[in-house]
Amino acid sequence: MRNKELYSVDEIKNMSYTDFVGFVNQWNVPPGAFVTLNKWRVFGNITKESKLLEIACTTGFSSRELALNTGCSATGIDISKKSVEAAENNHKLYAPKANLKYLVADGHTYSNGEKYTHALVGAALRFFSNPQKALDHITNDLLEDNGLLLSCEFYVEKEIPKTLVEKAKKIFNMTVTQQGYKEVMKVYKGLTLLYEDRNTIEMETDEELEHYTASSIQKFDKENPGYPKEALKVMHDRLLEIKQMSNELRPYQRYNVLVHKKDSRIYPGRYTELF
């Protein structure tokens, strides 16, 4: 938070999408939320000995909740300062005993010389300017030999209408993935696939969207007392708009949950058939 000084309604309206998510401290999650974390925990064998790096951690959901559940240590990086501030705050508020560290850094280049047993990118790769470069860097410079990459990908099952793509671009400041399954999987070709499932997404009802949004803004109010009702309403409406937009895209989208291994005997080739 900015020296206890409150952001104005105009500043809140004009923040970039990623800064707004960090600012309101939305518990931004990978598709599937806790269900996906449990798949990564089980099929990625995350234990208290594991050393996890979450890349593009936003407000820290995956690293924080996995550290709480397993006792692993975790570092989270994100390019958005507001998101990293929120992740640090969430560490203090919701998991004070967990072994967590959050830093502002670019996933294309971040390195502090350490290697990790697990790298986690959520559904974030498509937000990078160069997903392949980021993935190669993670694999070559951040993962231990035999380390595991935990990720998710959204892909489209049928073409998203142009009007919807344009509408989403205004809200997310980026073009939503319009790639099909085979296309999004290309970046992983040097890695060994250990676990995958593919999922459809149930649309949320207006009541569900409203309950989530109202709860998130009530949480913000508790964490940041002093904001006037007008500002809280602007935050509520912007978060609801984001949720409604995501919901409108759901009929066109699928997502998978992935665990890949960097197997130094094989990388960057493939000796096993895909199926």
Q: Please report, as ranges, the residues that interact with ligand SAM according to CB under 6 A.
A: 18, 28-30, 56-58, 61-62, 77-80, 83, 106-108, 122-124, 127-128
Q: Give me the least distance between CB of 264 and ligand SAM, in Å please.
A: 25
Task: Please tell me the distance from the alpha carbon of residue 144 to that of residue 113, in angstroms, as a whole number.
Answer: 11
Which residue number, 30 or 44, has a Cβ lying nearer to ligand SAM?
30
Which residue number, 9 or 244, has a Cβ lying nearer to ligand SAM?
244
Q: Give me the least distance between CB of 226 and ligand SAM, in Å please.
A: 26
AA identity, residue 234: V
Which residue number, 56 or 235, has a Cβ lying nearer to ligand SAM?
56
Q: Give me the least distance between CB of 233 and ligand SAM, in Å please.
A: 24
Give residue for tokens 């190669």: 136
Q: Give me the least distance between CB of 128 and ligand SAM, in Å please.
A: 5
Q: Give me the least distance between CB of 229 and ligand SAM, in Å please.
A: 28
Helix 206-223 and helix 229-249, axial crossing angle in degrees, nearest 10: 140
Q: Give me the least distance between CB of 14 and ligand SAM, in Å please.
A: 17
Is residue 118 within 8 A of residue 147, CB to CB? The reply is: yes
Q: How many other C-beta atoms are found inside a 10 Å radius of the C-beta of residue 187?
A: 19
Distances (CA, A) of 38 to 14, 28, 182: 36, 16, 25
| φ, ψ of residue 227 in degrees (nearest 5) | -75, 135
> Among all residues, whose Cβ is closest to ligand SAM?
122
Structure tokens at 220: 């913000």
Which residue number, 127 or 252, has a Cβ lying nearer to ligand SAM?
127
Which residue number, 175 or 264, has a Cβ lying nearer to ligand SAM?
175
Which residue number, 128 or 145, has a Cβ lying nearer to ligand SAM?
128
Sheet-wide strand order for 73-78: 100-104, 73-78, 51-55, 116-122, 143-156, 253-261, 192-200
AA identity, residue 191: L
Which residue number, 9 or 171, has a Cβ lying nearer to ligand SAM?
171
Q: Give me the least distance between CB of 81 and ligand SAM, in Å please.
A: 9
Task: Please tell me the distance from the alpha carbon of residue 119 to that of residue 58, in angstroms, as a whole number.
Answer: 15
Is residue 233 within 8 A of residue 214, CB to CB? The reply is: no
Helix 81-94 and helix 61-70, axial crossing angle in degrees, nearest 10: 30
Q: Give me the least distance between CB of 83 and ligand SAM, in Å please.
A: 5
Which residue number, 217 or 242, has a Cβ lying nearer to ligand SAM?
242
Task: Please tell me the distance from the alpha carbon of residue 204 to that of residue 222, in angstroms, as a whole number.
Answer: 26
